[in-house]
Chains A and B, each alone.
Chain A
Amino acid sequence: DGGITQSPKYLFRKEGQNVTLSCEQNLNHDAMYWYRQDPGQGLRLIYYSQIVNDFQKGDIAEGYSVSREKKESFPLTVTSAQKNPTAFYLCASRLAGGPHNEQFFGPGTRLTVL
């Protein structure tokens, strides 16, 4: 089955630690996205990538980093510089070809800082 996988489902981190969230897709989509979701705030874009080895900052990139070494993978690192990292993180992908193409979402990773 084609889709997007995110791991782990739940993640706990101590303050001051970096942590990497995994996102893999087998849909052969060109673009991939990372969002952060907080209650009452909807989805906010962290980073996105349209092609391998290239990515752009979204609206809230500070304290986060990404890489896009392979088309199917787009890991997100939450660094110790992110002041309030506890949130639900969603990865998405989209087929190139126009803005009418919808984004497909993974199941999400819930990160809790202890």
Chain B
Amino acid sequence: AQSVTQLGSHVSVSEGALVLLRCNYSSSVPPYLFWYVQYPNQGLQLLLKYTSAATLVKGINGFEAEFKKSETSFHLTKPSAHMSDAAEYFCAVSGKNTDKLIFGTGTRLQVFP
């Protein structure tokens, strides 16, 4: 069975500081991994996805994530936080022969001036 664990339901950083949001997955097959962002009272927007082409994936708004098979991780990073990055972030996994995504419980990012 597949699962996703997001460590830390809340993360706070200062504007300009490094953002690191953690995601670990469990999958018996090579996974496809996704990061989504959700602003208050809105739907989810895709930030980036890993589909086995390259282990370092660059997404929108300056975010990137690195797939590490040995650590079963897909952590999301951004070198310098901006106030507009304040939102909730979801990691998700799907595997071969499935049409479903399994979501983590989300991490709420706060950015302080």
Contact = CB atoms under 8 A, between A and B. Distances in A.
Interface stretch (B12-20, B67-75, B103-111): B103-111
Q: Is the interface of B mostly helix, strand, loop or mixed?
A: loop
Range, interface on chain A:
20 to 34
Contacts, number: 53
B88 to A, nearest CB: 10
A42 B90 CA distance: 8
A94 interface: yes
Interface in B23-44: 32, 34, 36, 41-44
Question: Quick one: which of A102, A105, A106 has the most chain B CB within 10 A?
Answer: A102
A23 B90 CA distance: 22
Contact of B96 (A99, A107, A110): A99
Question: Quick one: which of B98, B104, B105 has the most chain A CB within 10 A?
Answer: B105
Given A42-B103, A42-B104, A94-B99, A100 B49 contact: yes
Interface of A: 4, 6, 31, 33, 40-43, 45, 48, 50, 58, 88, 90, 92, 94, 99-100, 102-108, 110
